[in-house]
Structure 1
Amino acid sequence: MKALSLLGSTGSIGTNVLAVVRQFPEQFRIVGLAAGRNVALLAEQVLEFQPECISVAEPALVSPLAQRLPPSYHSRIVCGTEGNCAVASLASAHMVVSAVVGAIGLLPALTAIRAGKDVGLANKETLVMAGRLVMRSAQQHKVQLLPIDSEHSAIFQALEAGRKQDVARIILTASGGPFRTWSKDDLATAAPAQALAHPNWSMGRKISIDSATLMNKGLEVIEARWLFDVEPEQIEVVVHPQSIVHSLVEYQDGSVVAQLGIPDMRIPIAYALSYPKRLELGLSRLDLAQCGGLAFEQPDHERFPALRMAYDALAMGGVKPAVLNAANEVAVEAFLNGRIGFTRIAEVVDRALQETAQGDELDLDAILAADQAARAMVTRALQA
């Protein structure tokens, strides 16, 4: 039986991870749970899965959580970044699943790797911020990073069809989000509720906005560059509105291997948890005859400049990808709170990329300092 620590247990990915664990109790057990501020749901999860260690976002939430749990759990509650790292380094855990959203995933992921744990990675920001550092650490500690994002899981599976040295291109698919057909003028007036209405996937608020701007795909490009050890120019993005083809790998002989499936996150989650086995999930099967046409188109970099910015950040190197991510997190939150318009998200991110200082991508302190500097710069710009 595989023992799991789960970071981000109350979010969209986290609840799907627990659904898979619930379906296969003879194969998986939960030893650690970390969540943000949804104390009510976390308490329900604790009572069901009975973990050894439980973490919440901040000290103020420890007492509200304890009040919902029997006294035997009170000594198991920790909080904040230290709490996440404690859950990520539990001695009893065989694997850590990082399903948190944002930069808060970096330190727990590094902690898990340094503790010798395999990591199921749904937190793309870990590799966006510190890809070279994280992959080097994984190699040193001989642990696996198993992708949970549907696109990276698809690539991971397609890469098993050939040799690494024979790969010509990695092709990430993007749904195009809710604004795929909107004009540039219409995008300027887009409201948060409209941006959150993803046509195919049920995701958290931040990721839904990133999908609408195509920043999510840009972050995935950076993640793929490090996870699969390919050059940025080998990674392409195509818009595929049906979200049936999850991504593709082209080999040097011209063969293209694709992974297809219904848009259900339990499929890549279960594959990461059980790799190299596959589990019978009991989900509806993909019916190609019922799919109709499968369309593909080039992304529009003029209407959705965030994707280009991700390639720019990769080209700049150093701490610039961390700057990109931090600036985007602040800008997305401002949009969700009604403080800026939709198209302003990309504008403030671009400004942060141009105006923040460079740093060493192998220096964790430099990466974290760049993250904070970008947040401060964007916050000041938005206040002005």
Structure 2
Amino acid sequence: MYFTEEHDAFRQSFQDFLQKEVVPNINEWEEKGFVDKNIYKKFGEMGYFGLNYPEDQGGLNLDLFYMVVFLEELQKVNSGGFAAAMWAHTYLAMTHLNAEGSDFIKEKYLTPSIEGDMVGCLCVTEPFGGSDVAGMRTTAVKKGDKYIINGSKTFITNGVYSDYLVVAAKTQPELGNKGMSIFVVDRESVGLSSTALVKLGWKASDTAEIAFDNVEVPAENLLGEEGKGFGYIMQHFASERVIMGVNAHARAEFALEYAIQYMSERTAFGKTIDSFQALRHKVAEMASEIEMCKEFNYSIINRLDKGRYVVKEASMSKLMSTKIADGVIYECLQLLGGYGYMEDYPMARLLRDSRLGPIGGGTSEILREIIAKMIIDKKEYKPSTK
């Protein structure tokens, strides 16, 4: 219904690429806490960063179900950190460059990002405000042909080793969310510093707290129009949420497939444990939950691909898919018994990595309130215009 033969062929080729270039290095990257830069170049050479970007920037301009394949297969390498490093670059930082960037910005940052020569990160969350984007304190004051940025960001994926940062800041703090703008900031800018954070999971991604101390940014590095940053961020939150929903159903499916294979080989009381009714019914329930998430997420992607505004559905996707994924992976670990608790098996890492789902990109608590406003208070969120 959603995937063509071309999608299936891409899935197979991407699987082969990941098995050859990524999987053998995952444990090393998990231990080091960051991904080697050369893998970005390999992704770029294969066109994986340009799947949904314009051809005149070096992209392939394909439909969003290629993105779905990209996201789903990344989850199967069993490193939420590696997957996050890839999709945060491609679908967080680069999304803003493409949607709001000038021709100058696209030539300087977007094309090299598609080619894998530059890596980006998106800086919105702050130490004193996560989901409260409007309450951010980072400022950007215009002085002549430059903006001076002061403030801090935290929990930034690719925040240590990226080449540029897409940064949200208040250009007119007195106007609240209407005084927010977005900039591209070069990594080597004077006054910019980053500190690596130690996390429970997502070990392979470099996550940072970033400080801006009188960082000078050329006025030409403004994305879109001054004062419209909040709208831009909200516009892209919908795609980020459904991306996290797709990630969730994919890792849950990966966990269940592994558990089923394990059950077919593990014996107890003279028979394989996949013959015990209590465990079979648990598997049936989990498979049903995953399938519902997949179908819902695919329908959202289909609408998003047609240009529809899906903030309500995307919020529901992230809320429920991440919750279900956590539950499925918890139960799959249980199905492995003591081996589920061992680091030599995939479930321990899956459990840690999955736990970020209900936190990152808008906590479940915040999403429930956003959804409640739309359902109960009849609040309407409308797309922003550049």
**Is TM-score (shorter-chain normalized) higher than 0.5?**
no
Task: Select the structure that is richer in helix.
Answer: 2
Determine which structure has more spread, i.e. the larger CA radius of gyration. 2
TM-score w.r.t. the length of structure 1 is 0.28
TM-score w.r.t. the length of structure 2 is 0.28
